[in-house]
Amino acid sequence: MFKHKYISILIVCSACLLASCKKYLDIVPDNSPTLDYAFTLRNEAQKFLFTCYSYLPGSTDPQSNVGFLGGDEIWFPLEYREFDATLWNWEIGRGNQNSNRPYVNYWDGDRYGIKAFEAIRQCNIFIENVSDLRKVPDLSLPERERWLAEVKFLKAYYHFLLLRMYGAIPLVDVNISVSAKPEEVKVSRVPFDSCVNYIVNLLDEAATVLPPFIADRNNEQGRITSPIAKAIKARVLVTAASPLFNGNGDLAASKNTSGQALYAAAADDSKWTRAVQACKEAIDIATQNGAMLYYFPPSSFKLSQQTITQMNVRQAVCERWNAEKIWGNSGRLANRLQTTCMARLSSDVASNTTLRAMFSATMKTAELFYTRNGVPITEDKTLNFENRYATRMAVDSERYIINPGYVTARLNFDREPRFYANLCFDGGVWYLYSSPTQSDSGTYVLKAKANQYGGTDIGGGINQTGYFIKKLVDWNFSFSASGVTVRPYEWPEVRLADLYLLYAEAVNEATGNTEEACSYLNKIRARAGVATIQDAWTNYSTNPAKYTTKAGLREIIKRERAIELCFEGSRFWDLRRWKDAAYELNQPVRGWTISGTTDDSYYLVRTLFQQRFIAPRDYLWPIRLSNLSVNPNLVQNPGW
């Protein structure tokens, strides 16, 4: 229950609602922290509006975004665990989730989980008070309606974050009174499909009122629009249609204490039809209001087409407020994330401990990307990757991706542009605005062996796998022996490319219309300089008809999502909703032998860790055991 005596309206979200990088809020009601005061005047009510926003997860925070370290894309050096003893999401990736005190706990707001139920209570308080036309008399009706729509969206979104983690949850439509009887406080979990409908209805209500775009870009960037609401509706319905929640036999026996089944026992194909409609609606409203795939604009620098294509991919994430970002979330800007990924690229900065490079891409991630022909390395009939861990020397024609004359692994040659946009490696080229040649010719090269500047362990961090994350570092990043200059960017909570991928998946599942699905996949592949699905598989794959079947295209779509949305936190949730985590997250985490100082000693594959995922238990978060003791009407998730 929300205590009506006092509220704190100290807002922590910085720059969330401004295009500039100033602290947006540092607000406390003047000399009167009572709830009634919060809704006397527009200025005070606006502070409460931003309170509702302030609970949004800091998506660029290595700690609170569970997708960074909770899955199989990124690894961290165990010997630097003391660097940040609160990387609770990594404990999930290492198979250490528990029900006594869960990691990244959104139910209670513990271990870098947001206080989702508290956020919902704040939203209810705002809706109840601002809906009363007798309150906030200096608030105009159009603005009042917009604010209410924003908070309805936030209320729906916080419910969705809980739903995605825990499955069926209690719905908090109105707050429980402080005078409520004890039995009224002991809420129960509601059937999953009812939760989905409740969330979707809220999103629809909000979307009809929300503005289609942000007109005041100087002061309101990051606030909710109707395209954002439609995009999240699409994400909710694709999640609901996916195997984890749609006919999952592992959940079929789950009931609440009233005996209601929490999940439908049989799969319902109409859920995919509903998802198709939501995805297309989201794409249409986004594009009507200016959303488009990002392409790197012309610059005064002389750049090869190879580098420009890489920049299309890199800057789709890092370019601030670009047109592909349907929802940019800058609750926490990507400063620390960039330094945690950035490598030491020259001998001049070999002692710079700010360049930590401790977020390492796993070998599995490196192997996931396509060949230059646009098909998996295990399917390409013209390029042989059987000896992919052997080495060879780069030649001059490869100078924009690998330093000519440098010896590196076969795995690093003949790959699609997104491989080089996402990753850097021993001998790899890393182009930045600060390039010493002012071009991508003769620019920065990563030398990552233990006796070289990029691989030296100087106490400030070290890359564990030999694969460095280039995609999350803005090309404006610069460095010197004494420090770094970081241009922060807001996190792409939803990109147009993600909606294309969701739509392709839903169409394939609902109708088996491979042509329509491929048309949206090909938009993304074209931006990345990759051949169409049809051309790539027909001409280069050992399984040329793969894309013509629902099952084959499903496999392709899954890989496309993993590649296009790599390092954006999506794969963690995708593996769960597809029920693929039981296989993928029980594989070894591998990388190069980074202690090596020669080609022969460095290019040896080693196992860093054997991941552990227990199915069906680990597909859903546990409810903390103490909550079950306090409220006997709650039931625990299977396996916990």
| Maximum alpha-carbon separation in the chain | 77
Least confident window among 5-19, 78-92, 384-398: 5-19
Does position 460 have pLDDT exceeding 90, yes or no? no
Among 549, 616, 625, 639, which residue's Cα sits nearest to residue 249?
616
| Domain parsing of the chain, residue ranges | 119-290, 305-492, 494-590
Q: What are phi and psi of 380, to 5 degrees?
A: -75, 120
* Per-residue pLDDT reduced to its tens digit, 28-38: 334 334 787 89
pLDDT at site 35: 82
pLDDT tens-digit readout, 106-151: 999 999 899 999 999 999 999 999 999 999 999 999 999 999 999 9
Mean pLDDT of the chain: 92
Confidence of residue 356 (pLDDT cuts 50, 70, 90): confident
Query: What does residue 591 show for φ and ψ, rounded to 5 degrees?
Result: -165, -175
Q: DSSP of 517-567, one letter per residue?
A: HHHHHHHHHHHTT---HHHHHHHHBSSTTGGGSHHHHHHHHHHHHHHHTTT
Structural fold of domain 119-290: 1.25.40
pTM of the predicted protein model:
0.94
Tokens of 518: 């491929």
Q: Say which range, 176-180, 287-291, 345-349, 496-500, has the weakest mean pLDDT.
A: 176-180
User: pLDDT grade, residue 86 (50/70/90)?
Assistant: low
Rounded distance between C-alpha atoms, residue 239 and residue 393, angstroms = 45
Residue in the block written with tokens 């719905």? 171
Q: Give pLDDT, residue 82.
A: 52
| Statement: residue 357 has pLDDT above 60 | yes
Q: Token pair of 375, please?
A: 């098909």
| Burial of 274: CB neighbours in 10 Å, binned 0-12, 13-18, 19+ | buried
Which tokens in the block code for residue 27? Answer: 């607000």
Buried/exposed 322-354: b ≥16 CB within 10 Å, e otherwise: bbbbbbbbbbbbbebbbbbbbbbbbeebeebeb
**Tens-place pLDDT, residues 574-628:** 999 999 999 999 999 999 999 999 999 999 999 999 999 999 999 999 999 999 9
Give the number of other Cβ atoms within 10 Å of residue 180's Cβ.
11
Q: Which of 179-188, 244-253, 481-490 has the lowest mean pLDDT?
A: 179-188
Check residue 80 and give its pLDDT. 65
Cα–Cα distance measured from residue 332 to residue 488, given in angstroms and rounded to the nearest whole number: 9
Instruction: Quote the tokens at residue 499.
Output: 């909606």
Question: Nearest to residue 88, comparing CAs of 116, 115, 106, 111?
Answer: 111
Q: What would the two tokens of residue 550 be? A: 């629902």
CA distances from 580 to 239, 384, 512, 555 (A): 14, 28, 21, 11
Position 200 pLDDT exceeds 90: yes
Question: What pLDDT is attached to residue 30?
Answer: 43
Residue 630 carries which DSSP code?
A: H
> Angle 291-292-297 (CA atoms, 0-180°, nearest 5)?
120
Return the pLDDT at 10: 27
Q: Cis link prior to 616 (omega < 30° from 0)? A: yes
Mode of pairing for the β-strands spanning 423-425 and 467-469: antiparallel
> 437 is written with which tokens?
């040649």
Q: Is there a contact between 39 and 33 (Cβ–Cβ < 8 Å)? A: no
